[in-house]
């Protein structure tokens, strides 16, 4: 019998977030300080521009590069914002958010307890990307989350 985790119509085995940003080398150092990231490798042009880098965030890989305007690749500072948000599930949201702020992030939403059973907050890194950082405070079944969500709109 086929492995159900591998038996997808598209054959997807993994997904990697890929950030595009200005000052990729500075971003790598920020992610190390803010999130404890470990740099796996980077490809650097003679000019110093980073064409590709990979960081380890816990068991996951985050990929990033500098902007390449000649190919239409810009980061949040260039395009005027981002519609993308990363969520980090951590041991303690308050501690993780404080560490990110100490490293240079700004708070978008302070940590708070939420109806879906998580304590979380949101930060913006110095390069324009937003990160939701949270930890579980209560196991909540999907039907109960929906019920609580519905109550918010009454």
Q: Where are the domains of the chain?
A: 18-152
pTM of the model: 0.86
Which range, of 14-18, 97-101, 128-132, 140-144, averages the lowest pLDDT?
Answer: 14-18
The burial of 45, by beta-carbon neighbours within 10 Å (0-12 exposed, 13-18 middle, 19 or more buried), is given as exposed
Helix, strand, coil share (%) of the chain residues, nearest 5: 25, 35, 40
Provide the 10 A C-beta neighbour count for residue 124: 18
List, for residues 10-33, the tens digit of each pLDDT value. 788 888 999 999 999 999 999 999
> Which residues on neighbouring strands pair with residue 38, listed in sequence order?
56
Question: Residue 142 has which token pair?
Answer: 């999907």
Q: Which superfamily is assigned to 18-152 in CATH?
A: 2,3-Dihydroxybiphenyl 1,2-Dioxygenase, domain 1 (3.10.180.10)
DSSP 3-state assignment of 126?
Answer: coil
Q: Give the closest residue to 32 by CA, choosing from 134, 135, 103, 130.
A: 103
């Amino acid at each position: 019998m086929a492995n159900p985790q591998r038996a997808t119509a598209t054959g997807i085995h993994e997904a990697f977030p890929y950030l595009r940003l200005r000052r990729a080398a500075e971003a790598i150092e920020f992610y190390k300080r803010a999130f404890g990231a470990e740099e796996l490798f980077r490809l650097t042009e003679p000019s110093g521009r980073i064409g590709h880098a990979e960081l380890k965030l816990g068991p996951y890989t985050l990929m990033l590069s500098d902007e390449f305007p000649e190919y239409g690749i810009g980061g949040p500072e260039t395009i005027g914002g981002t519609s993308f948000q990363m969520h980090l599930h951590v041991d303690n949201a308050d501690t993780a958010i404080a560490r990110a702020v100490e490293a240079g992030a700004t708070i978008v939403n302070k940590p708070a307890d939420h109806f879906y059973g998580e304590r979380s907050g949101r930060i913006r890194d110095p390069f324009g990307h937003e990160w939701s950082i949270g930890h579980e405070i209560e196991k909540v079944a999907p039907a109960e989350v929906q019920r609580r969500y519905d109550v918010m709109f009454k």
